[in-house]
């Protein structure tokens, strides 16, 4: 068996502890699969004295994560600190510049600096691996970059945030309001330290930017991802979606054609009978379309100590086996800068929910507003009057444009009968 591979772990949160557990508990199995022993030499965390439920006494403790790569007996640094910049980014750059391989679960850092890090890794002849940054326990990076390497891919989409999928699932299955399910996920500890990362779609957008690069060979371009979260979704929308034959999901979607890259994260209404519509709770799911494979579907746990740590260790094993190809599966210099496609270029049907006063002429005014923007109505639903004298009016449209629907809603919002800002959700035929 070859000489052992020596690892330093920066960050000892749930995932970092999970990595330590796997490397210790599966030591012999991993050595057999990797062709050599993998040994943890050093660890780094802000607080040395926290009981993390695992014995760390046999490892060297280092105070500054940026210096781990300076150690002579470290071959790989595993960065699990998080954050797009700061210590994590400095540690990553120093690792690669010291000609040592980097494994990270840091989706924000890869989404913002993927092309730069790929350049550094290639220039220094070392590996950059980040399977754990996208979809946790689903090996989607390897599936796209290796398993589907013979295909020209056209589209990738999916559920990329387990917390919001859990929330939407239980708003439907248990009839909970947005505020009620938000309180529950806060108590369960499902939210990121900054809840906006989950609720506003930013976490999913980080992952989508990475998937675009892997699938299409483009430079990571987080700044041109259209992002919209789930904060405006109410129980009434869940109920109407069901009545109309749809289910609401927060999806990330990326398409590449003729040098033009569309990247968007937002709530959608999709046919309830689609496989991805049936993915519930904290699970993630990805769909990849290619010319020779047609369509492939992947489902699994998208986060948590076990699934994410499993992906980290798989990357370490790959490096131990000698796999050190380009980070995005093509030479860094050949990653292209794509032309971003604006959300305003979208064409399709829309769901519109209006909360209005229950008075004569309201429907005629709404219809006039839609007509003036050249938006055609497919269905219109109105529930009985509420005790406060207001009603919900729900409309689905025929195919129209993003610009037209915005124009229509702006006109309708000016009506004195409108109680709150109208909500629109894009209907996707996937």
* CB contact at 8 A, 289 and 153: yes
Looking only at the bridges linking them, the beta strands covering 283-290 and 153-159 are: antiparallel
Give the residue from 71, 178, 160 showing the smallest Cα distance to 169.
178
Encode burial over 176-186: b for 16+ CB neighbours within 10 A, e otherwise.
bebeebbeebe
The three-class DSSP label of residue 76 is strand
Catalytic residue status for 207: yes
Single out the residue of 60, 61, 111, 71 nearest to residue 95, CA to CA: 71
Long-range contacts of 238-245 (CB under 8 A, 24+ apart): 238/168, 238/171, 238/172, 240/351, 240/353, 240/381, 240/392, 240/394, 241/269, 241/351, 242/172, 242/272, 243/381, 244/269, 244/351, 244/379, 244/381, 244/394, 244/396, 245/271, 245/272
Residue 317 near residue 7, CB atoms below 8 Å? no
| CA–CA dist 412, 422 (Å, integer) | 8
Within 10 angstroms of residue 378's Cβ, the number of other Cβ atoms is 13
Task: Please tell me which residue in 142, 207, 249, 255 is annotated as part of the active site.
Answer: 207
| DSSP secondary structure letters along 251-278 | EEEEEEETTEEEEEEEEEEEETTSGGGG
Q: Where are the alpha helices (DSSP H) in 252-355?
A: 305-320
- Of 311, 276, 10, nearest in space to 134 by CA: 311
Output DSSP code: residue 344. G
Q: Which residues are catalytic?
A: 207
């Amino acid at each position: 068996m070859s000489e052992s591979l020596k690892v330093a772990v920066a960050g000892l949160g749930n995932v970092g502890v999970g990595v330590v557990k796997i490397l210790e508990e599966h030591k012999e199995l991993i050595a057999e699969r990797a062709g050599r022993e993998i040994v943890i030499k050093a660890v780094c965390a802000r607080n040395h004295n926290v009981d993390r439920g695992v014995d760390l006494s046999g490892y060297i403790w280092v105070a500054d994560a940026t210096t781990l790569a300076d150690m002579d007996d470290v071959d790989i640094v595993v960065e699990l600190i998080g954050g797009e910049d700061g210590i994590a980014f400095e540690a990553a750059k120093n690792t690669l510049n010291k000609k040592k391989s980097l494994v990270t679960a840091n989706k924000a850092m890869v989404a913002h600096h993927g092309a730069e890090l790929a350049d550094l890794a290639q220039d220094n002849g070392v590996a950059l691996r980040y399977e754990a940054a996208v979809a946790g326990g689903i090996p989607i990076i390897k599936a796209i970059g290796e398993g589907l390497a013979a295909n020209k891919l056209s589209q990738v989409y999916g559920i990329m945030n387990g917390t919001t999928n859990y929330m939407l699932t239980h708003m439907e299955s248990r009839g909970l309001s947005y505020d009620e399910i938000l309180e529950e996920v806060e108590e369960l500890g499902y939210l990121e330290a900054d809840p906006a990362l989950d609720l506003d779609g930013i976490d999913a957008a980080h992952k989508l930017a990475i998937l675009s690069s892997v699938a299409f060979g483009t430079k990571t371009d987080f700044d041109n991802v259209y992002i919209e979260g789930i904060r405006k979704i109410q129980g009434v929308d869940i109920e109407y979606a069901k009545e109309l034959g749809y289910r609401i999901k927060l999806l990330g979607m990326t398409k590449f054609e003729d040098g033009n890259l569309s990247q968007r994260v937002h709530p959608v209404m999709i046919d309830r009978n689609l496989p991805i519509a049936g993915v519930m709770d904290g699970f993630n799911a990805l769909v990849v379309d290619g010319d020779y494979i047609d369509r492939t579907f992947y489902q699994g746990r998208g986060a948590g100590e076990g699934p994410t740590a499993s992906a980290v260790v798989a990357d370490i094993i790959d490096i131990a086996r000698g796999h050190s190809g380009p980070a995005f599966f093509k030479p860094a210099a050949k990653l292209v800068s794509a032309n971003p496609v604006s959300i305003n270029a979208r064409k399709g049907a829309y769901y519109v929910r209006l909360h209005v006063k229950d008075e004569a002429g309201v429907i005629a005014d709404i219809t006039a507003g839609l007509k003036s923007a050249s938006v055609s109505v497919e269905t219109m639903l109105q529930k009985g009057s509420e005790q406060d004298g207001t009603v919900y009016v729900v409309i689905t449209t025929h195919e129209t444009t993003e610009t037209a629907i915005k124009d229509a809603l702006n006109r309708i919002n000016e009506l004195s009968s409108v109680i709150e800002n109208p909500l629109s959700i894009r209907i996707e035929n996937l």
